[in-house]
Structure 1
Amino acid sequence: MTSPDQPTGPYLKSPHAGSNSHRPRASDQPPGLTDRPPGAPARTSRCWQRILVTAVVGLIGAGAVACALVHRDKNEAIRHCQAAISKKLRAPSTAEFTDTTVSRGDSGFGTHYYDVAGTVDAQNGFGAMVRGEYTCELTQRPDGQWLVTSTRVL
């Protein structure tokens, strides 16, 4: 006997009927996508997405490393130039370098050329602070050695 509240016949629901409701059915798939099992991810598009993301991250990382190396090399060029200029001054310990600019060029064979310019304030022979402009030309060889090829204080 059944009560009037309980459904009978083909409309009777089993207690587990809703447990697989999270899986898409083939009939729910858009046309043309039924060649893979229902619920299976599109592997080829995800594969290409991963390859693309990996490539972009790799390029960004390589660019960041290259920028850091160029920045480090420019700082080294400034340091070598200012050391060479200090040797030309009467009172090198009083030198204050400002307005420094650096330009860089490449030979194509691993040698880099740098032009450094700026102003320097230092004491002269009488103890008075004087301002001068300086320029340096430097070369960084492929083995990392630095050569100061010219210096000038005006």
Structure 2
Amino acid sequence: MAFFMVLLTAAIVVVVFVVCTAMATKRGSETNIRITLAAGAIAAVMVWVWYFNWSSSPERDREQVEKDCNNTTMAFVMSQNFVKQRLKAPSTAEFPYITDRGVRVDIMPNCSFAVSAHVDAQNAFGAAIRNQYTVKMSYNRASKMWSATDLNIQ
């Protein structure tokens, strides 16, 4: 959104520049140029005031909390990283898609998720085996970090 705001401000500056350049060719247009510059500056300031009010509104904060704390796909993907840390051969790990049968991600209170899935990976002897796992994933919105508790690989 900030990128859009920069583009909008640049567009206002370009329009003001073009209008002022066109007016500069006429005699007695100094007042009109000043009015155009002032209007452009006011428009740019109003755009940025709106943006800062919008970005810090309680409604936007609620929307962001809902988005972060209902993101089951991210919880599933992040759980894979914690599972890999516990495997003997993490580079051989293959996980299902979130839409595959046997994958379940439940939303829990306080921006937490219960993830249940499987992983195919090699064991210490090089044999490919399928392990079921469950883990409780938690997202800390302040630090933007994920944590895993109660990781159980069977």
Structure 1 length as normaliser, TM-score? Answer: 0.49
- Structure with max Cα Rg: 1
Query: More helix by proportion, 1 or 2?
Result: 2
Structure 2 length as normaliser, TM-score? Answer: 0.49
